[in-house]
Amino acid sequence: MMKKNKRKEKICLFFASDYHFEMISLPYINENLKKNKNVIIMTENNLDNTVNKVLENVNLAKEDKERITKINWKNNDLDKFKEVKNANKEGKETLIFIKGKENYIENMNRNIENWINNSDVKVVDCYDINEIKEDASNIEKNYTKILDFVLSKKLTRQDYIIAIGGGVVGDIAGFAASTYMRGIKFIQIPTTLLACVDSSVGGKTAIDTKYGKNLVGAFYQPNYVLINANFLKTLDERQFKSGLGEVVKYGFIEKSCNPEAPAMLLNYLTEHSEKILSRDIMTMKELIKMCISLKISVVEKDEKESGLRKILNFGHTYGHAVENITKYKKFTHGECVVEGIHFALNLAFKLNLINKEYKFLCDDVLKKFNFKQIPQFDKNKIINIMTTDKKATQNKIIFELPTEYAQVKEYSFSPNELKTLF
């Protein structure tokens, strides 16, 4: 047990990869070194390359960087540990990063307890976790796993759950945060394009079940959303394109999001398609900013989706049905949203809601990004699934359909009506 005159602050982070560790730890390490603190990095495995990459990007003099102590416990680097103990006697504030599996982190914390002196110590526990897979059974299991973990660590409402990853990670972490103690603090750090422009902003948190997508969830706003566009360079092509599906969606609904502002996104997508596909950082920053601004303008007016916010579901009614019929394994969310946009455009054209010229323009925008083609499914099965969509009411299937340039409007159809329009 620590003496009462000793203070120890704790931060818990979950990391899916060493790259996440680099990106998130870098600014924090930099800040603490500039404040002349001791910085210690303890890792279960040899992360010399990772740590050195962090140090390369820290804007400090060589002698300052050398003040970082690296301890690799697999190598039994006990001499360095003794040096740290001795340095700590100087009374400096100390920042300790511990990265590894849960058992390793617990062991290191016990060792730290034995040598903390009267100086202030802040410990950051960085837990290595397995990738969260996007299927209903695994998501439910991971939700329970998160709750078991935070309960075992006795987190309070003053603590934070920090989600570092894509939309699934953010959703499941946010839902866990909303339910633990009826609400614990929550930070979103999106690392995919889809999460940057959509799921990390707005406060929707949910998990999928075998009965459908996002049927169990809560509206729960994060305390902070931190976006670094450099994460986008780590995505494979398919995941990047998946995020572009949500980006394009905003272009088709822009005027409905903010009627007072000029519609610019469709033109931006057309004129900068090559730079977007090459992931030019400045272009992507501007694109993310435009999308987030549109979402915020909607959420501020309708947080709980009682009216205006429904426009954000453009492309999603049919898209969710495709995800469901393929058990969330065959296509990404963004791919399904794009397919849902195609469906909505065709349906609107059949109903004479849009003219040929506007449909051609919309189709042309979609073609510029060469989205994955999805085959047609049995219409009866698709329609049956759409009747269970959370937006469906009184056996009516709800669609947001385009009506004018960058504008959409809500329409409802009975299953039989929809069959005649397929």
Residue 356 annotated as catalytic? no
Q: Given this structure, which CATH class describes domain 8-225? A: alpha beta
Q: What is the pLDDT of residue 380?
A: 92
Q: What is the pLDDT of residue 76?
A: 45
H-run or E-run covering 87 = helix 78-88
Residue 368 annotated as catalytic? no
Residue 295 annotated as catalytic? yes
What single string gives the DSSP state of each residue in 343-354?
A: HHHHHHHHTTSS
Token digits for 90?
């100087």
Q: Which of 30, 44, 142, 246 is catalytic?
A: 246
Question: CATH 3.40.50 occupies which residues in the chain?
Answer: 8-225
Q: Which of 333, 342, 391, 400 is catalytic?
A: 333
Q: Which of 242, 135, 130, 266 is nearest to 194 (CA)?
A: 242
Q: Which of 22, 44, 254, 305 is catalytic?
A: 305
Question: Is the domain 240-421 a CATH 3.40.50.920 member?
Answer: no
Q: Supply φ then ψ for residue 188, to 5 degrees.
A: -100, 125
- What span, in angstroms and rounded, lies between the C-alpha atoms of 254 and 248? 10
- What span, in angstroms and rounded, lies between the C-alpha atoms of 169 and 131? 9
Q: Which of 313, 323, 335, 342 is catalytic?
A: 313
Residue 305 annotated as catalytic? yes
Q: Which of 4, 62, 110, 182 is catalytic?
A: 182
**Which of 270-275's residues contact partners 24+ apart within 8 Å by CB, and which partners?**
270/364, 270/365, 270/368, 273/368, 273/369
Residue 45 annotated as catalytic? no
Q: Which of 249, 309, 310, 342 is catalytic?
A: 309
Q: Which of 316, 324, 335, 342 is catalytic?
A: 316
The pTM score is: 0.72
- What span, in angstroms and rounded, lies between the C-alpha atoms of 201 and 195? 8
Q: What is the pLDDT along the chain (422 residues), one digit of tens a residue?
A: 333 434 456 666 666 566 666 666 766 777 777 777 777 777 777 666 666 666 666 565 666 666 565 555 444 455 555 555 565 555 567 788 787 777 788 887 777 776 665 557 778 777 765 544 555 556 677 788 888 888 887 888 888 888 888 888 888 889 999 999 999 999 999 989 999 998 888 888 887 776 766 778 888 889 999 898 888 887 889 999 999 999 999 999 999 999 988 899 999 999 999 999 999 999 999 999 999 999 999 988 888 878 898 999 999 999 999 998 998 888 999 999 999 999 999 999 999 999 999 999 999 999 999 999 899 899 999 999 998 877 777 789 999 999 999 999 999 999 999 988 88
Q: What is the pLDDT of residue 350?
A: 95
Residue 342 annotated as catalytic? no
Q: Which of 20, 37, 204, 342 is catalytic?
A: 204
What single string gives the DSSP state of each residue in 240-277?
A: HHHHHHHHHHHHHHHHHH-TTSPP-HHHHHHHTHHHHH
Residue 316 annotated as catalytic? yes
Residue 204 annotated as catalytic? yes
Q: Which of 149, 64, 326, 195 is nearest to 161 (CA)?
A: 149
Q: Which of 20, 213, 249, 295 is catalytic?
A: 295
Question: CATH 1.20.1090.10 occupies which residues in the chain?
Answer: 240-421
Token digits for 278?
């090459």
**CB burial string 175-204: b at 16+ within 10 A, e below:** bbbbbbeeebbbbbbbbbbbbbbbbbbbbb
